Amino acid sequence: MGDKVFLAEDYFSRYKEIIPDYLNFLLTLKKPLPQYFRINNLKVWDREALFRSLKENYGLIFEEVKELSLFYRVTNNEEISLGNLEEYSLGLIHSMTVTSGLPVIALDPKPEELILDLCAAPGGKTALLAMLTEDQAIIVANDKRIDRLTALVANIKRLGITCVITTCYRGEFFPLGIPFQKVLVDAPCSGEGRYRVGLEGEILYQKVGKSNLPSIQKGLLIRAFDLVQPGGIIVYSTCTINPEENEAVVDYLLRKRPAEIVDWVSPLPYSEGLTEWKEKEFHPKLKLTKRFYTHQVKAVGFYIAKIKKLI
């Protein structure tokens, strides 16, 4: 894309009909994304002592996210870098936007389950899987890049997690034969849910995506389905708005494999998934998938589909 400048109003106009309260959405893009962190329940037993340290030593001001257990929103957002705090280095807290936790909540991990995180690095969702299962599940965290796995392993060690096994495969070619009970596919995407807008209306930090992203995403989701046991659950998620990377990918799976969309209770507000886009009709059950827009959740935008393997 070079140095080409994209204006938000032009770029997002193709989504105008599907984004609720569209003008408020555009206004929200001009505000920085809030910082969030989650307390590491594997290490923290005295929450009040941790709160006192964060407030007294760094002047950190934060509030509880009542909808999500142990998540907190930083309110003096521009002044503090969470990654520089001693409590972060010790693994007492983990920086993670609230919507990044939703795919894990949808997957509903349980202790002793065999779970695959197919595109795991840098490990935030892997860590949450371990935290929610009290470090008692068996979690395989896979990524195709060694350098990204290095960051994942560092996070796992920092947080004191012991139940994670790491592997390095292209997700589309992860070896078959292991009957996972649950698989998380947080797929590589164009990242539109993270875009912010500058003073002149230009898009900042725009990710230069691959043109073949939908084909990669379809390959990942098909492989995830083939890796899970009958009756098992797959959660597919992205942080983008684009229906070609979201509903169209899940619709492809429904046409290729015996799968069904499963509803789940979201703790945050959402819009229903689309059943049509640009004159293309999708499976009607795609309305059970969920779109999380940044102005509705005050966080990164996300798309989440929960899928059950029938046979």
CATH number at residue 50: 3.30.70.1170
- If asked whether residues 134 and 226 sit together in one domain, one would say yes
Range of the structural domain that residue 51 is part of = 34-96
Do the domain assignments include residue 238? yes
Question: Percent of the chain, pLDDT > 70?
Answer: 96
- What is the rounded radius of gyration, in angstroms, for the C-alpha atoms of the chain? 19
CA–CA distance from 270 to each of 30, 96, 100, 296, 297 (Å)? 21, 19, 14, 7, 8
Q: Compute the C-alpha angle 103/194/237, nearest 5°.
A: 25
With H, G, I as helix, E, B as strand and everything else as coil, classify residue 30: coil
One domain for residues 53 and 121: no
Same domain, 228 and 304: yes
Spatial separation of the C-alpha atoms in residues 196 and 205, rounded to whole Å: 7
Would residue 181 count as lying in a domain? yes
Assess whether 196 and 127 both reside in one domain: yes
The answer on 222 and 160 residing in a single domain is: yes
Mean pLDDT of 230-234: 98
- Please check whether residue 3 lies inside any domain of the structure: no
- pLDDT tens readout for residues 41-92: 999 999 999 999 999 999 999 999 999 999 999 998 667 889 999 999 999 9
pTM: 0.95
Residue 119 catalytic? no
The token pair that represents 250 in the structure block: 């899940």
Q: How many domains does the chain have?
A: 2
What's the mean pLDDT in 253-279? Answer: 97
The C-alpha atoms of residue 167 and residue 27 are separated, in whole angstroms, by 41
Q: Distances in Å between the alpha carbon of 294 and those of 9, 137, 242?
A: 16, 32, 14
For residue 26, what are its two tokens?
Answer: 């555009």
In a domain, 45, yes or no: yes
How far, rounded to the nearest angstrom, does the alpha carbon of residue 132 sit from its chain's CA centroid?
15
